[in-house]
Structure 1
């Protein structure tokens, strides 16, 4: 199975791009969604996160996202410790998921921090989604619970586009939706032709 990593900084529009691929019939695995699901359902992960961050990590049995965001985005070592707990389980889940996608020529794994965790090494191709920083911030401010301070803290913990792009097989500049759709279609054709 051909695995295509899809990455990009916060606010670049990875989900928008993933949805365009999904409309073309490509199976999409969103690693962040799976990570959040596991953090809420896995007893082992819950226990480890409470041991690491204290009881405040969960409110009424649910992940306390705003508390965790404050802690991890202001302390890189906490972010790395949390990733070390969650990412191996996500990786195992992804392997099982891939086995169920045998009817598709390739799958996309959407991961915010693909390069930061060497995840690109397990991909056959990597697509990086880019957008100007001002546009990313504007998009993010339209989402709930976001402040410039929080957005910049998250951005500091992610690679810059200048670091991602040279290591990518494809780059999608996501500014205008119609143009983004055209770029996706072109990449989809190219990957499909390489496989067949």
Structure 2
């Protein structure tokens, strides 16, 4: 088989952005256009559930963090790792490889697609950009981000600060991006940018 006869693989677009920047809404715009999207947060949710691949390992590493049903008690786990870099690193060493395995399975399932999106909150922080052909960063001004996040049920200043502390600064993400969408400019603007990005990447190829 010649090089030109090789099956074309999908273009892999990494989608990331700090908390409150509108990443989930942007991912939904790609899905609405028929682009397969792998949601790392959803994968983690499944892994944390009763019988999930991560739940038992987390229970062993962090006693007292499982529910009676065998799933991860997220508030208890958050309390166990909040503000403790060593404990957080232990948790990430359990979870991140499992999420990567889920991602590889997703890519195998959608090998025939022209474009796929890997929605990864900690994309740069975990080195996942190496698995992507291009990276889209969603962004918004700090005051917009803050207002969005603190409006979430149960969110506190302490929790917001802890989340931001483990995320790469927005300015650094923007500097490393191939594409940017400022979600403070509204849905219509974001929709138009998503359409443009899809067209460009499908045309360009991997």
After TM superposition, the score normalised by the length of structure 1 is 0.92
Is 1:54 aligned to 2:67, yes or no? no
CA distance in 1, matches of 2:86, 2:51: 22
CA distance in 2, matches of 1:101, 1:179: 28
Question: Where in structure 1 are there 5+ consecutive unaligned residues?
Answer: none
- In structure 2, the CA distance between the partners of 1:191 and 1:67, relative to structure 1 (3 Å rule), is same
Decide which of 180, 201, 205 is 1:191's aligned counterpart.
201
Decide which of 136, 161, 185 is 1:152's aligned counterpart.
161
What is the RMSD computed on CA atoms of the aligned residues?
1.7
Partner of 2:44: 35
Offset at residue 44 of structure 1 (A) = 5.3
Task: Determine helix, strand or coil for the equivalent of 1:37.
Answer: helix
Question: Where in structure 2 are there 5+ consecutive unaligned residues?
Answer: 1-9
CA distance in 2, matches of 1:183, 1:142: 26
Partner of 2:5: none
Which shows bigger deviation, 185-194 or 18-27?
Answer: 185-194
Q: Report if the CA contact (8 A) 1:73-1:154 is conserved.
A: no
CA distance in 2, matches of 1:129, 1:72: 27
Q: Report if the CA contact (8 A) 2:137-2:177 is conserved.
A: yes
CA distance in 1, matches of 2:51, 2:91: 14
CA distance in 1, matches of 2:58, 2:152: 26
Q: Report if the CA contact (8 A) 1:74-1:153 is conserved.
A: yes
Partner of 1:69: 78
Which shows bigger deviation, 160-169 or 121-130?
Answer: 160-169
Larger radius of gyration: 2
Q: Report if the CA contact (8 A) 2:124-2:173 is conserved.
A: yes
Offset at residue 134 of structure 1 (A) = 1.8
Higher helix share: 1
Task: Determine helix, strand or coil for the equivalent of 1:178.
Answer: helix
Question: Cα deviations across residues 81-103 of structure 1 (Å, max 9, x unaligned)?
Answer: 11110111111121111111134
Partner of 1:105: 114
Task: Determine helix, strand or coil for the equivalent of 2:118.
Answer: strand
Q: Report if the CA contact (8 A) 2:14-2:118 is conserved.
A: yes
